[in-house]
Amino acid sequence: MSELPWMRPLPESWPLVKLKYICNFIGGGTPDTGNAEYWGGQIPWVSPKDMKAGFIADTEDHLTEAGIASSPCKVVGPGAVLIVMRSGILRHSIPVAINKLAVALNQDMRAIIPDERLNARYLARLFEGHQAELLHAWGKEGATVESLDSELLDAAPIPIPPTPDQINIAVYLDQETARIDLLTVAKERLLLLLGEKRQAIVAHAVTRGINPSAPLRGSGVSWLGEIPAHWKLIALRFLVDVSSGATPDTSKPEYWGGEIPWVSPKDMKRDEIADAEDHLTELALSASTLQIVAPGAVLIVVRGMILMHSFPTAVTIAPVTINQDMKALRCGPELDPVFLRDFFRGIEKHLVSLADQSAHGTRKLETEVLGRLQVCLPPIDEQRAIVSQIAAETATIDALRCATERTISLLRERRAALIAAAVTGQVEIPATVDAAEA
């Protein structure tokens, strides 16, 4: 077992005790989703999607008594530490929460019920303050979906401060993190407002142009409204060539780790794409249907849950390949690729509305639907002038967004460092705590 982050000098009065000796554990399950008698009752059913806050007061799904009786689910009383054991979110964090009411759990969750020697709020903070280290220590190797190893978790030695100290730590952290959280929420709100302002600037430029005195005409498209009278309106399929991506065999290491960028949705966070998190070898290219996407193409995401709320798009500035959830659009001579990228961003809400739920439960924008999309087409020189003005008008907003994102990152780092220090005795905690707060 990897050494745990708190296995360093602790206060002398804080012994280390394996979790399994001071806690009980309860797993979960899923009743038959096809039986309506099991669902829609009064019993909250916690799944990873509900684990977005430190306390669980309600859930998205609920079970009936019949649903509990028909499955491995057990009702967990209030005050347990709930932890996600299996989910894609475990790539970067371990969601932990305490239930304020009796709940049942799905099969990807686990409830940890401490005895009188261990305060649940202290234990939850101990996990919260050491996310990256615990993912490394408890991660299950070889799993197809990110998972925690329950045996490693059970055998983890946990520092046990005296009970009053545990309560003091929990209350102190509630107070201090609340201050940080208020600042973070304010910064996130600013980030949202800046994003909305930026989107409004882009939307106006790509659908109304940058000449306020230009005469307008009706586009004949309900979601678009009026456009400059001299602009064309052409279906996208007549303006671009579309190519698809693929995923080479992931079981063959000789296909991976080469020099060829392989772009997937997780890489679509920039205006321009020159590299990717994953890379392919020449062998992978020759053994698959993949083709090199040259610089100057517009990359879009056409499948994934992200299409529920956004439509990621970027322009390539270096040769890349793409995965099966992406499309590459090569623009003809009438259409500037950067203008097309900005046009997509300006009408993002409409594009999101075009994506349907696929047979696998995710969201997908069909190529035929995309091809019918009506694109505003100014003269090519005007397209480039619009792109330049968008860049100029959004530069200040983008700089402020970057600064705000950095501030949010620093606040989160400060929060995590404070929690980690407090739960391992590195911070002097005031001893006067109102018992009611505990």
Q: Is residue 169 helix, strand or coil?
A: helix
Contact (CB, 8 A) for 139 and 91: no
pLDDT given for residue 115 in this prediction: 95
Same domain? 337 vs 205: no
Same domain? 321 vs 272: yes
Give residues with Cβ within 8 angstroms of 306, minimum separation 6.
Answer: 265, 312, 363
Q: Is the pTM of this model over 0.85?
A: no
- Domain count along the chain: 3
Distance, CA of 255 to CA of 290 (rounded, Å): 12
Same domain? 172 vs 284: no
Strands 96-99 and 157-159: unpaired
> 355-384, pLDDT tens digit by residue?
987 666 689 999 999 999 999 999 999 999
Same domain? 391 vs 409: yes
Same domain? 132 vs 58: yes
Min mean pLDDT across 215-224, 299-308, 351-360, 405-414 is at: 351-360
Question: Percent of the chain, pLDDT > 70?
Answer: 96
> 283-314, pLDDT tens digit by residue?
999 888 899 999 999 999 999 989 989 999 99
Same domain? 166 vs 300: no
Q: Is 354 exposed, middle or buried (0-12, 13-18, 19+ CB in 10 A)?
A: middle
Segments forming the whole domain that contains residue 394: 162-213+379-438
- For residues 404-433, give the mean pLDDT: 90
Q: Which two tokens stand for residue 318?
A: 């270096």
Half-sphere exposure of 388 (CA within 13 A, CB side): 6
